[in-house]
Amino acid sequence: MRARNHHRRHRPLLLAASRVAVGVALLSAAAAAPAAASPLGPGTELWITLGADAFDLLAGQADHQGLERLEEQDGVVLTQVRFGDLAGLSASLHESTGRCAGFLAHRTLAQARAALAVPRTRSSLAGGVSYSINQTEWVTSLEADLDKPSILATIDHLSTAYHNRYHAYSSGAEAAEWIRDLWRSYAETRPEVTVELVSHPGINQPSVVLTIPGSTFPDQHVVLGGHLDSVSPGTSNPNFLAPGADDNASGIAVLGEIARVVLAADFRPQRTVQIMGYAAEEIGLVGSQDIADGYEAAGRDVVAVLQFDMTDYFGSVEDMAFLSDYTNADLTAFLGQLVDTYQPVLAWTTSACGYGCSDHAAWHRAGYPASMSAEARFGQHNPAIHSTSDTLATLGHNVDHAFKFARLGLSFLIEIGNPERFLFRDGFETGSTEAWSQSVP
Ligand code: BES
Ligand code: ZN
């Protein structure tokens, strides 16, 4: 509780440290948090927090010798920089790590310290929730409806019908509207289900939120999400190419397929289930941060959040990697159990980004239990992301890998969405609520 309030007072500016996005990130994040905005010049002093390993790499380089290790906590270092140095730092990190490394930028020392104080993992669940596997009938029955061509078609559309899905351009907003319309088509026979655009201050691109109201515990939310935007170098040209097939049309396609299957089966969860496509992740988790902070401010109860970001590239010996940082350890352990139960042939592992690399971090920072399932160990992920080569061709026009994530997400939704088994008159235990049981032969 203390951490949550603490965080609300000191909202950090989130920055993408990838070369392609860093400049815009600060401006956009500032626009999303107008209270924190004041003119930034090259000489403006800022504080950044970043992984100790990334800090050591930077500090060892001639260009960045002045960097001081001001404070350190839980493997995260706080240092001071000038705004004008950020792009160079970002480029150096990208080059020396050979991957997208990230850091958070903060306008004040107090904000930076508040970010240091947020633990990278949490292991006690909000509100004492516990997760259990008790809906195997429903999971195994609905799994059979998941469809690979449907996943492929969504990735194909999102990665070819627009030049990019960048937050600042009309194509980025159109892609969000297309996702809303697709998800609405899945909900046509379900008047109680809503699919809405959620706008964010200072950002042209909306998020998309599908809501299935809970039958028994409507105030308890289960969230499945992934970002809908894309990025690559050249963002100053509105027609720049950023297909973002793996990052993250593949996550959006997995989410849509889960929605399609549960809605077609007339699945009525006991808890409220929300499926979210987040805007503007690539410039610093702007959409998810706005939503998660809004839930926190409203005191909403979110029992679990699962993030899908990059699902279709097979890069490690294991099939799946659950991120171990900026996530909830208990929820992640439960995800491992879901895999072991419903996809026992799969191997999974854990891996760390080393920074809050996707939207799960926004929920984590807001104090909610969040986990992220990744296609590979960090560093073995698709090397084509954030480039014009992040296409379906690079993925071999094959969604076998993404399909494993659709199965995981479906089992997550059904199990955590339905915490209770119900006893019926005849004494037989059934999988779920009466409404649901009636719709299954
Ligand atoms: N999909 C990436 C994050 C990612 C990269 C996850 C590699 C797993 C493996 C995400 O879209 C992204 O690019 N994130 C930014 C940071 C964010 C705070 C803007 C990054 O990694 O630089
Ligand atoms: Zn991504």
Q: Mean pLDDT in each 10-residue stretch from start to end of the chain (441 residues)?
A: 34 42 35 47 77 83 87 84 76 63 68 74 65 93 97 98 98 98 97 98 97 96 98 97 98 99 95 98 97 96 97 98 97 97 98 97 96 98 98 98 98 95 45 37 29
Q: CB atoms < 10 A from the CB of 191, how many?
A: 7
Residue 48: the pLDDT is 81
Out of 229, 235, 282, 327, mutate this one to test ligand 1's pocket (max ligand atoms within 8 Å of CB): namely 282
Query: What b/e sequence results for 75-99 when a residue is b if at least 16 CB atoms lie within 10 Å of its CB, and e otherwise?
Result: ebbbbebebebbeebbebbbeebeb
What local confidence, expressed as pLDDT, does residue 441 receive? 29
- Ligand 1 environment, Cβ below 6 A: 14, 16-18, 100, 102, 247, 281-282, 284-285, 309-310, 353, 356-358, 374, 378, 381
Tell how far the Cα of 422 is from the centroid of ligand 2, in angstroms. 39
Tell me if 52 is assigned to some domain: no
What ligand is nearest to the CA atom of residue 285? 1
Q: Is residue 348 part of a domain?
A: yes
Give strand pairing partners of 104.
14, 49
* Number of domains making up the chain: 1
Task: Give the CATH number for residue 254.
Answer: 3.40.630.10
- Pocket of ligand 1, candidates 50, 106, 309: which has the most ligand atoms within 8 Å of its Cβ, to mutate? 309
Q: How far apart are CA 224 and CA 13, in angstroms?
A: 24
Q: Whose CA is nearest to atom 3 of ligand 1?
A: 357
Characterize the bridge pairing of strands 45-51 and 103-106. Answer: antiparallel
Give domain status of residue 57, yes or no: no
Q: Which ligand is nearest to the CA of 252?
A: 2
Evaluate whether residue 46 is within a structural domain: no
| Containing structural domain, residue 8 | 3-38+120-425
Buried b (16+ CB within 10 A) or exposed e, 228-266: bbbbbeebeeeebbbbbbbbbbbbbbbbbbbbbbbbebe
Q: Could you tell me if residue 435 is inside a domain? A: no
* pTM (2 d.p.): 0.79
